[in-house]
Chains A and B, each alone.
Chain A
């Protein structure tokens, strides 16, 4: 479904990721893990079109998408939830969700994902009229995921969804990721909390200083002695 081939992305001459290749198949949950500064965020930004890779290709459903403007990549069916969520803070929860379905016209088309969103995150339904900025960190993350689902993506990319959130809500969010996949969507998730994430992921890549260090099924990665020592603290 998604095929990233040898992309290199640099910020003002500093190479953040170098010739990184990853594959994501339909219906998978794929984890990209690695330490801070390993280039995880740069990788998803380069796929989403928020950063432009210097070289390499990104192919989605057989079509090249690298170089397209970011909003067109969203329109092709890739929803991206950035690390800092980027909600519209002074707009209501309802308006944030409505904006998610901006690309669609018919009422049925626009509201189709709402059931799933409210089923996973009932808190959002209780807070529809509240401004997004008044939500807690966890609720904001839920809203960001909800808004992304409203674009009706085929691939959902989450960058550090557990960051700055209390542990109870982290579990809720990881459970939601699984539910989302069970509805037929594909998920690419970037996380530092590798242990919890390996439980829901099918496959994983480990990035280190801008390069792919290791890849395999979630079980292989979780059982690898080096990974257990360096990343899982076991």
Chain B
């Protein structure tokens, strides 16, 4: 079991979701996060003062998958989120120790999908 954490551009969320659904990855958690990127992003201006914007808005996806689903999940996120410019984001893959489905009490790979 793996936990996939992806940080992507907010405006690419819909595209990533579409790619994931096509790969039959239907379970995901989404949160809005701020990140410290290397790129400048879109600068904001408030009453003439430029906001340099070290912290940029990003979307974080968390997806728990069984090992045989990992590759297609990574492919879908990459395909949906890529614009080719700096700031497209990153994907982290972690080993997942355990998973419990609260409703039934199932554990392990059974409980993920």
Q: Do A and B bind each other?
A: no
